[in-house]
């Protein structure tokens, strides 16, 4: 039986493959190879769910082909570890009622549902029709917390958990919330840097880089923050992927037109 350590190791291994592809080592179906060479196929498939939409970033940001074998492997991971039913994720607490003790759990479910939605959207967009689009990746409903930045510390932590959505071509309520909250994102990133919470900082810097790519005016320059974390953060593979994506967005190193999926 796979352990938590097995899952974490598999996620780091896949993140290393994503990072290599982002740096130009393209031309291979790296997601399917991740599964084919894994000693623990269950952990390898779970890692694809953990990395999520970031498995598509080499294609989106550098234009390398997204292979049909990779699309099939991502679809297999969604089949083995199906996303939760979005209709069971709950909504907001009605006015005048007592606080719901399960609200934090529902927030976590909606966060996971947004990440699954991003993976499903990318799969449908870049699979070239080679696999059927999953039917269980609808965005969660009633997620009013996205627009409430009153407690910007808690809000920015949640946006950090949603950093895999900070990809060109994706758009939805999470992205609308980010566009409307450059200052809370900047505050969250700055606070995380000062607290040496480099993992959270990098994820929020990635959102700031996405806003820069979108042409949104920013209250801080995310480039020095990204360089600071790179030098002092002791980044692991998954944080390195976030940093690489942020630099692609900050430097405008995006392809003119994405290539079709390779068969």
- Between the alpha carbon of residue 43 and those of residues 8, 48, 83, 181, 261, the distances in Å are 8, 9, 16, 36, 26
> What are the backbone angles phi and psi of residue 135, rounded to the nearest 5°?
-105, 0
Lowest mean pLDDT segment, chosen from 158-162, 184-188, 198-202, 256-260:
256-260
Q: Is residue 237 part of a domain?
A: yes
Label residue 195 by pLDDT band (50, 70, 90). Answer: very high
Q: Both 193 and 148 in a single domain?
A: yes
Q: Both 5 and 135 in a single domain?
A: yes
Extract the tokens encoding 189. Answer: 């990133």
The pLDDT value recorded for residue 189 is 97
Q: Both 78 and 173 in a single domain?
A: no
68 near 32, Cβ under 8 Å?
A: no
Q: Which residue has the higher pLDDT, 27 or 25?
A: 25
Q: Both 24 and 39 in a single domain?
A: yes
Q: What is the chain's mean pLDDT, rounded?
A: 86
Q: Both 26 and 120 in a single domain?
A: yes
Closest CA to 206 of 257, 171, 155, 248: 248
Q: Both 135 and 185 in a single domain?
A: no
Q: Both 131 and 203 in a single domain?
A: no
Q: How remote is the C-alpha of 223 from its chain's centroid?
A: 20
Q: Both 18 and 115 in a single domain?
A: yes
Domain count of the fold of the chain? 2
Q: Is the pLDDT of residue 93 over 60?
A: no
Identify the domain containing residue 62 by its residue range.
1-86+109-140
Instruction: Determine the Cα angle at 209 with ends 58 and 86, to 5°.
Output: 70
Q: Is residue 102 part of a domain?
A: no
Find all residues with CB under 8 Å of 214, minimum gap 6, and list them. 179
Q: Quote the strand ranges of the chain, DSSP E.
A: none
């Amino acid at each position: 039986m796979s352990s938590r350590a097995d899952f974490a190791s598999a996620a780091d291994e896949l993140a290393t493959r994503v990072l290599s592809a982002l740096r130009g080592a393209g031309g291979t179906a790296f997601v399917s190879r991740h599964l084919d060479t894994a000693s623990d196929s269950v952990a390898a498939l779970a890692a694809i769910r953990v990395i999520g939409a970031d498995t598509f970033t080499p294609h989106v940001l550098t234009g390398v082909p997204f292979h049909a074998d990779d699309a099939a492997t991502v679809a297999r991971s969604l089949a083995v570890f199906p996303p939760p039913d979005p209709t069971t994720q709950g909504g907001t607490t009605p006015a005048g009622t007592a606080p719901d003790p399960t609200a934090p759990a529902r927030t976590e479910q909606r966060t996971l549902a947004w990440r699954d939605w991003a993976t499903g959207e990318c799969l449908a967009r870049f699979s070239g029709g080679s696999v059927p689009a999953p039917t269980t990746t609808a965005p969660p409903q009633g997620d009013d917390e996205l627009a409430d930045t009153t407690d910007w510390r808690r809000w920015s932590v949640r946006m950090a958990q949603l950093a895999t959505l900070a990809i060109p071509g994706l758009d939805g309520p999470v992205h609308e919330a980010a566009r409307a909250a450059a200052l809370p994102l900047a505050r969250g990133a700055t606070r995380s840097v000062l607290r040496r919470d480099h993992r959270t900082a990098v994820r929020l810097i990635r959102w700031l880089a996405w806003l820069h790519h979108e042409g949104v005016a920013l209250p801080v320059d995310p480039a020095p923050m990204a360089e600071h974390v790179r030098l002092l953060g002791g980044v692991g593979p998954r944080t390195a992927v976030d940093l690489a994506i942020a630099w692609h967005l900050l430097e405008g190193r995006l392809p003119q037109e994405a290539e079709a999926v390779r068969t």
